[in-house]
Amino acid sequence: MTTPTHILQQVFGFSAFRQPQDKIIQTLIAGNDALVLMPTGGGKSLCYQIPALARDGCGIVISPLIALMQDQVDAMRLLGVKAAFLNSTQSADEVRAIEQQLIEGVIDLLYIAPERLTQARTLHLLKEAKLALFAIDEAHCVSQWGHDFRADYLQLNLLHEIFPAVPRIALTATADARTREEIVSRLQLDDAEKFIAGFDRPNIRYRIGVKHNARQQLLKFLKSEHQGDSGIVYCLSRNKTEDIAAWLSEQGFNAYSYHAGLSAELRSAHQALFLRNEAVIIVATIAFGMGIDKPDVRFVAHLDLPKTLESYYQETGRAGRDGEPATAWMIYGLQDVIKLRQMMANSEGNEHHKRAEQHRLNAMLGLCEITTCRRQALLSYFGEHRNQACGNCDTCLDPPETWNGSEAARKALSAAFRTEQRFGVNHLIEVLRGTNNDRIFQYGHQKLPVYGIGQDLNNNQWRSVFRQLVARGYMSVDLERFGALRLEEKCRPLLRGEETIALRKDVQPTAAKAQTKVQLAPEVDIALWEALRECRRGYAEELGVPPYVVFHDATLQEMCLRLPQTMEEFSQLSGVGERKLQRYGPAFVGVINQHLAA
């Protein structure tokens, strides 16, 4: 076509690039490889879409997101881009037609699933076609250290070997240093230019609390802060997603479950409902979310602890892609830790892999129990350091109280030691509080010097002590003994009185200040805003696409502020390219003129 800036303005309707989009695009146009780490909502897609349009040939996008390919292609076609996909959902005739279009050079972008790309038929097809670039989306899937490992991605080094002259770009929103190294190694990207755009999502408010009554805590959060909002609730098990979705529906919410055990048709239907409607909640396992391009997700809630900070960051990053305020809300307890460690112990990974996963879980626990700025800790994990606290996480807005838990910690450690490190937290609390029951007498624990020395704390307070000792590495969970707590070497100075420990004081959760769903400027006329949204909704339903594919909320708000009354004025709005101007301009200008004449 023409220059990258011209494509950005005329096709996508944006006036300027975000840094470092322009440098990435120029790297690919020049025929060089790139590795891109950019936060969710940071504009990764443009980094390969624009070079694919600027260079001769078709851009091949390798994506694991079969369920979303149709939506991605639809969005491109609405912009006038000739896009298509190849995956297992298509008939033989459909596949042949698209293959012919590729050979004839009439396709700008072709989305292919990794398992299809590596087939001999596909590789032969690509050798016959003119290729602009390869884009490897969700590149963290190549890493066994990552959180979404896909075996098919391990074969993608063949792109470099078979098509050495075709530039490649690998993109992800989440990768720590080890994952980045593995991406470079497995994809043979040693000579690629590296672009790390930063991990901060300042509009997301991080909040982590202790799990008491998960359902009621979630209900209070939704009703007090996010009534009528779209959001995602993550659970660890498939059964739990279905139970929570059914329960939320009973509470009056529009909620649907999503997990790998559902049929492909049902998963696709639930995903479409979420993408194309407002005020829909998806209750899901980690099977849901990668590549979800819905900008107005106002919250992501975790009812169970994620395994790693990478998973947590990736999942919470699906909130607030439009830049408006959003909440990442999570509750967790010691039982979550035990459950995750059981899953790790039963995994098929070797000991080296299990140790690495254990370190990652410990980092996740550290974020939960930290008493300083959560955002600083989260960014630091990914190698990004900020000097000041963020002011938009729970520990900044409502700093937690701490107390000198040294004596209580010694009692807890002593109870585990005196009972031969063979018992779980419930039994240890019963020993400390001097409970009289058959189990205590069966083992003779009423005779121990630690029996009854912890009556100054109640059960919940003791649970907090044990949880924090495990989170900080003073104790560990022995899975071979059904969750027995064991002492770690780190606890010796604390036990001997050579070290003190400050523990977080748990409090019953209270509702945080509600955040506005969409922060409308004071001069925006609400009646016009709703009329424009209704116009957008009509187009979205007609085309079978999510409303934001027509126009983002930011563009609607700009219409309200600038009140364009002609097509020329409408074309100056952000997000209005030539195709959208022709397709939607008359209707939206008509709505504005009708409002002004009323």
- CB neighbours (10 Å) of residue 520? 16
CATH of the domain at 558: 1.10.150.80
Give the range of the structural domain holding residue 271, as residue numbers without chain letter: 204-397
Contact yes or no for 18/43 (Cβ under 8 A)? yes
CATH code: domain of residue 379:
3.40.50.300
Q: Does residue 257 share a domain with residue 313? A: yes
User: Is residue 415 assigned to a domain?
Assistant: yes
Residues 23 and 163 reside in one and the same domain: yes
Same domain, 494 and 547: no
Pair 58, 110: CB distance under 8 Å = yes
Q: Residue 439 half-sphere exposure, CB side, CA atoms within 13 Å? A: 11
C-alpha 287/C-alpha 265 separation (Å) is 15
Beta strands in 260-408 (DSSP E): 281-284, 297-302, 326-332, 402-404
Q: The tokens of 450 are what?
A: 């630690």
> Residue 88 is encoded by which pair of tokens?
């297992």
Residue at a domain's end among 196, 222, 251: 196
Closest CA to 97 of 85, 109, 88: 85
Q: From 397, 412, 430, give the residue that closes a domain.
A: 397
DSSP letter for 393, please: B
Residues 162 and 299 in one domain: no
**3-class DSSP assignment, residue 293:** coil
Q: Which DSSP category does 446 fall into?
A: G
CA 547 to CA 536: how far, in whole Å?
6
CA triplet 338, 342, 348: central angle to 5 degrees? 155
How far are the Cα atoms of 305, 401, 433, 445 from residue 506, in angstroms, in the given order? 17, 8, 19, 29
Does residue 356 sit in the same domain as residue 486? no
**CB contact at 8 A, 153 and 141:** yes
Single-letter amino acid code for the residue at 245: A
Output the pTM of the full model: 0.72
Clarify whether residues 245 and 116 are in a common domain: no
Q: Each residue's pLDDT tens digit in the chain (598 positions)?
A: 579 999 999 999 999 998 899 999 999 999 999 999 988 777 889 999 999 999 999 999 998 877 778 888 988 999 999 999 998 888 999 999 999 999 999 999 999 988 888 889 999 999 999 999 999 998 888 875 555 566 777 888 899 899 999 999 999 887 777 888 888 988 999 999 999 888 899 999 999 998 888 898 999 999 999 999 999 999 988 999 999 999 999 999 999 999 989 998 898 899 989 988 989 999 999 867 766 778 899 999 999 999 888 889 989 999 998 889 999 999 988 778 777 877 777 777 777 777 777 778 888 888 988 888 999 989 988 888 888 999 999 999 999 888 999 999 999 999 999 999 999 888 999 999 998 888 899 999 999 999 999 999 988 889 889 988 887 888 887 766 667 889 999 999 999 999 999 998 886 544 344 344 566 777 788 889 888 988 898 888 778 788 888 999 989 999 998 899 999 999 999 999 999 999 899 999 999 988 887 6
Last residue of a domain, one of 357, 373, 397: 397
Say whether both 288 and 141 belong to one domain: no
Examine residue 515 and state whether it is found in any structural domain, yes or no.
Answer: no
